[in-house]
């Protein structure tokens, strides 16, 4: 059954709404799209932002700037791959903030190991699962920042490789390589701590 609708202020009637028109009609307003695509991602933005900045207050400022930029870009956002789009904004915002404030951090982020945050725990008092989880957290915090962000995007935030590649502005092969090396390092650290039976070869 044809969809009949009025077009504009005059009384011209479009007998059949074509696909493009339908798509336009279904596209949410920028404010609605912001609520739909951006707001649910705030926890993820904050987690990744914290990894990028290594400072909770900086992370909050970064996410706030990202939200503002995302909101201003909503009218031009095509609705495709919203997470990759949003995290690309986060990455660009982070780069721009560092360029203004701390240019030295852009030199070679791979050389900068994340400073492990103090997290005292006594594994004997924890369940095995919690001890394992804590060890994984400790291991991921020890990764170089570029590896850590990829592992977080894929494992914590459930990004596909393609989404992570878009968000980080790198080829998929780079995502796979960083992910592979990052997880291998985590596994090696767990094995060294006696928490993983990784004797079967790590490659």
Partner 1 sequence: MKGSESMGERLRARGACLVVRRRLQPHLDGELDAARAAAVTDHLTRCDRCRRQLESFARIKIALREAAGATMSPKDQVALRRLRRFADGLGDDSAP
Residue 174 binds to partner 1 (criterion: CB under 8 A): no
Q: Which of 52, 84, 89, 154 binds partner 1 (CB under 8 A)?
A: 154
Cα→Cα distances 32→42, 62, 69, 70, 75, Å: 16, 22, 16, 13, 11
Contacts to partner 1 from residues 41-100, by CB under 8 A: 42-43, 45-47, 50, 56, 59-60, 63-64, 67-68, 71
Residue 15 binds to partner 1 (criterion: CB under 8 A): no
Neighbours of 5 (CB within 10 A): 12
Rg of the chain on CA atoms, in Å: 22
E strands in the chain: 5-6, 13-14
Shortest distance, CB of residue 107 to partner 1, whole angstroms? 28
Q: What is the dihedral of CA 117, 119, 123, 125, to 10 degrees?
A: -170
Shortest distance, CB of residue 60 to partner 1, whole angstroms? 5
Q: Which of 73, 160, 174, 193 binds partner 1 (CB under 8 A)?
A: 160
Three-state SS for 48? helix
Distance between alpha carbon 178 and the CA centroid of its chain, in Å? 15
Interface with partner 1 (CB under 8 A), residue total 48
Closest CA to 36 of 84, 7, 90, 74: 74
Residue 155 binds to partner 1 (criterion: CB under 8 A): yes
Q: Which of 17, 123, 132, 170 binds partner 1 (CB under 8 A)?
A: 132
Three-state SS for 63? helix
In angstroms, the CA 76 to CA 160 distance is 24
Contacts to partner 1 from residues 16-45, by CB under 8 A: 30-31, 34-35, 38-39, 42-43, 45
Shortest distance, CB of residue 118 to partner 1, whole angstroms? 13
Three-state SS for 5? strand
Q: Which residues bind partner 1 (CB under 8 A)?
A: 30-31, 34-35, 38-39, 42-43, 45-47, 50, 56, 59-60, 63-64, 67-68, 71, 129, 132-133, 136-137, 140, 151-152, 154-157, 160-161, 176, 179-180, 183, 186-187, 190, 196-198, 200-203
């Amino acid at each position: 059954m044809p969809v009949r609708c009025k077009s504009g202020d005059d009384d011209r009637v479009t007998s059949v709404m074509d696909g493009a028109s339908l798509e336009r009609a279904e596209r949410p307003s920028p404010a609605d799209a912001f609520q739909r695509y951006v707001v649910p991602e705030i926890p993820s933005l904050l987690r990744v932002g914290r990894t990028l900045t290594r400072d909770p207050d900086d992370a909050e400022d970064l996410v706030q700037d990202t939200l503002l930029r995302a909101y201003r870009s909503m009218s031009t956002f095509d609705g495709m791959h919203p997470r990759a789009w949003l995290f690309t904004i986060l990455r660009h915002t982070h780069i721009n903030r560092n360029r203004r404030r701390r240019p030295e951090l852009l030199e070679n982020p791979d050389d900068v190991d994340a400073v492990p945050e103090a997290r005292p725990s006594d594994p004997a008092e924890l369940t095995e699962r919690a001890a394992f989880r804590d060890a994984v957290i400790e291991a991921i915090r020890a990764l170089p920042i570029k590896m850590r962000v990829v592992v977080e995007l894929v494992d914590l935030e459930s990004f596909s490789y393609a989404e992570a590649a878009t968000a980080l502005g790198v080829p998929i092969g780079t995502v796979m390589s960083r992910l592979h090396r990052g997880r291998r390092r985590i596994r090696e650290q767990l094995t060294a701590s006696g928490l993983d039976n990784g004797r079967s070869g790590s490659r």
